[in-house]
Amino acid sequence: MTMQTNYVADAILDARPRPDSIKNKFFTGSKITGYFLLGIWIVFFVSIIWFLYDSYDADYMARYAPKYLYGFLTTIELVALSVVFGGLLSLPVAFGRMSKVKLFNRIAFGYIYFFRGTPLLAQLFLLYYGFGQFRHFWQDMHLWWLFRDSWSIALLSFTLNTAAYQAEILRGAIMNVPKGQIEGAQSLGLPKFVTFFKIVLPQALIVALRPYGNEFILMIKGSAVVSIISVYDLMGETRRAFSQTYDFQAYIYAAIFYLVCVEIIRRLWDVIEKRLTRHLRRDNS
C-alpha cells in the first residue's frame, strides 16, 4: 500500500514562511552562554595542563609517583575490604530491621540511625582516639592490636559505617519484591530458605544494584578522611607530598586519580547493570 501524500490543507493553503521569532538564528542567547561556559572550561583545563607541564620535575615524579601508586592501592584495598565485610555485616542488620521481634528491630534501627546520622569523621575519631583511651582494657582483652593501628581502625569504622547504609539498601530492595512472588513460592510448596535465595534475593539484588554502586563510589570518596588519622591512602600521600614541597600539583594529581577511578567504576557499573537486566528490556539492543 502506498502512503497517502496529498493533504487537503496543502491544496487550500500555501505553506507559510517561518515566523521571525523562531527562525534559526546564528547568535541566540543560550548559544552565546553555552559557548562562553564551555570556553571557561577549556581555559581552565588548558591552564591546568600548562601548570602541570610547567612544574614538571623529574625528581618530584621519581620520588612521589610510586608513593601515589601505593596510596592508591591502599585506598582500593581499604574500600574493597570494608565493602565486603560491611556487606556481610549488613545481612543481620537488615534482617533485624525487618524482624517482627521488637528488640531486634530496635537494636538494628539504633545501629542504622547512629551510623547514618553522624559524620564518618566523628565515627573515626570516636573509634581511634575515643576507644584508644581505654588502652588497659583492650590490653586485658588482647584486642589492643586492633585499636592501636590506625589502618585497622579505619577498616573497622568503614565496615561499621557501610554496613548501616548497605542494610538500608538491602531492606529497601527486599521490601520492593512484590508479595505475590512469595505467595507464589509458598503455593508451590517451596521452603522458606529456597524462596529467599532463589526468588526474593535475585529480584532484590537487581533493584539494589544501582544503590550498591553509588555506595561503592561514596566509600571511595569517603575513604579520603582516613588521611586525617594518618593512614597513607591516596589522600594521605597527597597531603604528605604537599606538606613536604608546598607544590600544588600534588592535589591536581590526586584529583585526576580519583576522577578516573570513580569514572571507571561508574562506567563498569553501567555495563554490569545492562548485562544483568537484559531480560527486562523489550528491545534486543
Partner 1 sequence: MDYLTLLSYGDTGWGDEIAHGVLYTVSLGVCTLPLGLFMGFFLALGINSKEPSIQRAAKIFTIIFRALPELLTLFIVYYGGQILLNLLFQKVLGTSIEVNSFIAGIIALAFVFSSYASEVFLSAFKGIPQGQYEGAFALGLPWFKTMRLVIVPQLIKLALPGLSNLWLVLLKDTSLVSVIGLTDTMYATGLAARNTKEAFLFFALACVMYLVLTFISSMVLQSIEKRGRRGELS
Binding region for partner 1 (CB under 8 A): 28, 30-31, 33-35, 37-38, 40-41, 113-114, 117-123, 125-126, 129-134, 217, 220-225, 227-228, 235, 238-239, 242, 248, 251-252, 254-255, 258-259, 262-263, 266
Nearer to partner 1 among residue 79 and residue 208 (C-beta): 79
Residue in the block written with cell 500555501: 14
Nearer to partner 1 among residue 195 and residue 258 (C-beta): 258
Tell me how far, at minimum, the Cβ of 220 lies from partner 1, in Å.
8
Nearer to partner 1 among residue 170 and residue 261 (C-beta): 261
Evaluate whether 124 touches 225 at the Cβ level (below 8 Å). Answer: yes
Q: What is the dihedral of CA 140, 144, 146, 149, to 10 degrees?
A: 180
Q: Can you tell me the distance from the alpha carbon of 51 to that of 253, in angstroms, rounded to the nearest whole number?
A: 12
- SS3 state of residue 195: helix
Nearer to partner 1 among residue 14 and residue 54 (C-beta): 54
Tell me how far, at minimum, the Cβ of 217 lies from partner 1, in Å.
8
Tell me how far, at minimum, the Cβ of 15 lies from partner 1, in Å.
23
37 phi, psi to nearest 5 deg? -65, -45
Q: Can you tell me the distance from the alpha carbon of 227 to that of 214, in angstroms, rounded to the nearest whole number?
A: 22
Tell me how far, at minimum, the Cβ of 23 lies from partner 1, in Å.
15
Nearer to partner 1 among residue 74 and residue 195 (C-beta): 74
Orientation of helix 234-245 relative to helix 249-276, angle to 10°: 170
Nearer to partner 1 among residue 73 and residue 122 (C-beta): 122
Q: Can you tell me the distance from the alpha carbon of 160 to that of 112, in angstroms, rounded to the nearest whole number?
A: 10
Nearer to partner 1 among residue 118 and residue 277 (C-beta): 118
**Residue 202 backbone class (left: φ over 0; alpha: ψ -120 to 50; beta: rest):** alpha
- SS3 state of residue 168: helix
Cell triple for 11: 491544496
Evaluate whether 248 touches 242 at the Cβ level (below 8 Å). Answer: yes
